[in-house]
Amino acid sequence: MKNGAAQPLWTVLRRAALFLLALCVAAGPAIAVRAGEAAAQSEEAAAQPQEAPGSEPPEGGPKREETAAQSGGDGAEDAPQEVTVSASVRLTKSKKAAYIRWKRVAGAYAYKVQRSSKRDGKFQTVAFLSQNDCTYRDKGVRRGRRYYYRVAAAMEDGGNCYSKTLALDCPLGKVSGVRLIRYSTTSIKVTWDADKNAKWYKVYYATTRNGKYKLAGTTKQNWFRVKKLANYHSYHFRVEACVSRKASALDSGPSQSVTMVTRPYERLTVFAGDSLTRGLKSYNAVDKIKIGGKKAVVAVDGLNTLTFRTKKVIGNRSAMDEVIRLTPYRVYIMLGGNDIHYLDKSKLIDRYRVILKAIRDGSPDTDIVLLAMSPVTAAAKQRLPGFSQIPAYNQDLSELAEELGMKFYDCTEFMKDSTGCLKSAYATADGIHWKAPVYDEYAKLLETYDKTLD
């Protein structure tokens, strides 16, 4: 059979196979992109193998693929008419996807939507669509990123023509959960919900809500302390999420402003718990914790994860109620030593959760830090096997703190022997309580840790 007779059948089979391929290719990830006009880019001649998905069209060539034979040899005569794809891209209204649209091209049997993280980088095909499609919504993108898109029209004659590369900025979302905590008479601590896509945050303040906002500082943390404020003044704060220290089109817009009036204030730090915590006061260790402001100890011998909340031990109040009444700037709490030796650790965690939620609800501006339970000596663990739960209990406390958006701190490593038990030299006769030197080291560690929080 001659070539001329075989050609129509080959064309039909080829088009059918490619269209079936188009129906089977899944759409790719999501993002958003800025509108841009389309123009054509070129590739190799149609006689060469079809480009691999995601490959760049060669620069400087014709917008549509054509063989030398089809163009009349050297192309000086009978040059083909230029074919282009007109396309645009923008963020969807929800700002969670990129919306790409294009004009259909005569002679195209399918379209490929391609994406890259760099203008001159490798393009990946994220969607293979039929000749009747002219829009695509890409949902696989992340905030704080810039993406590049192009649309390729697959032509019936085996060639491809491309749109112009379109850039789309997907900025970070606005910062949420901005809160103000009074730190001192002339200082306010600004906190907010962390954004996993942000690298930096910028905190701004103004003396009027709609006035000019000044940069207070830049940080990688989800808090910042603004200092040197005037007393009895109203201040308004905003926070921006950023991809770098330098300003970028990918930065978020400013958050909603929050307001606080400065006034005379001295922060209070509370240490709460049972007899181990009471030792901070008994051995004068609390006075050695140099963290500024006032300090108080709310601790009574024998309290456990139930009686800390229910037993009236300070006036007509429970220890938990006393913490709430004091509305401290920060509270360190350690409980469990009086009930872990006869209860399953899960019961203690459930009781602890109730206490922590009550403190948070009663004093919402209080920063809550859960302290790891102290180890006991090997002899004490042998006498009361329930103490063997302590390592797992501390792990559960860490997870509880994360669950509730609080902090967990373990500063007990220095007091353990090679088996993880309390060193005998550090323990009193019962193998549970600490001798005075332990409190001195414990106070130093608490001081160092506390300073990292502000």
Whether the predicted pLDDT of 117 surpasses 70:
yes
Whether the predicted pLDDT of 29 surpasses 70:
no
Whether the predicted pLDDT of 39 surpasses 50:
no
Same fold, 179-261 and 268-452: no
Task: Give percent of the chain with pLDDT exceeding 70.
Answer: 81
Predicted pLDDT at 430: 97
Predicted pLDDT at 320: 98
Predicted pLDDT at 70: 34
* pLDDT (average), residues 302-306: 98
Structure tokens belonging to residue 320: 């938990």
Whether the predicted pLDDT of 74 surpasses 80:
no
- Torsion, Cα of 35, 36, 40, 42 (10° steps): -90
Where are the chain's structural domains? 23-44+84-170, 179-261, 268-452
* pLDDT (average), residues 237-257: 97
* pLDDT (average), residues 431-436: 96
- Which has more confidence, 39 or 344? 344
Contacts of 81 (CB under 8 A, 6+ apart): none
Task: Flag the least confident range among 39-48, 139-148, 221-230.
Answer: 39-48
- In angstroms, the CA 232 to CA 264 distance is 8
Through-space distance between the first and last CA atoms of the chain, rounded to whole angstroms: 85
* pLDDT (average), residues 58-63: 37
Helix (H) or strand (E) holding 333: strand 330-334
Structure tokens belonging to residue 127: 């969607």
- In angstroms, the CA 143 to CA 236 distance is 27
Whether the predicted pLDDT of 297 surpasses 90:
yes
Predicted pLDDT at 94: 85
Q: Which has the closest alpha carbon to 133: 155, 149, 111?
A: 111
Predicted pLDDT at 8: 54
Place 15 in a pLDDT band, splitting at 50, 70 and 90: low
Task: Flag the least confident range among 57-61, 136-140, 160-164, 207-211.
Answer: 57-61
**pTM for the complete prediction?**
0.73
Predicted pLDDT at 83: 56
Helix (H) or strand (E) holding 307: helix 307-310
Task: Specify the 3-state DSSP secondary structure of 9.
Answer: helix
Whether 276 contacts 235, CB under 8 Å = no
What digits encode the pLDDT tens for the residues 368-412?
Answer: 999 999 999 999 999 999 999 999 999 999 999 999 999 999 999
For 399-414, b where at least 16 C-beta lie within 10 A, e where not — what string?
A: ebbeeeebbbbebbee
Whether the predicted pLDDT of 119 surpasses 80:
yes
Share the mean pLDDT of the chain: 86
Predicted pLDDT at 235: 98
Whether the predicted pLDDT of 12 surpasses 80:
no
Give the fold, CATH level 3, of 268-452: Rossmann fold (3.40.50)
CATH of domain 179-261: 2.60.40.10
* CATH superfamily membership of 23-44+84-170: Immunoglobulins (2.60.40.10)
Predicted pLDDT at 65: 38
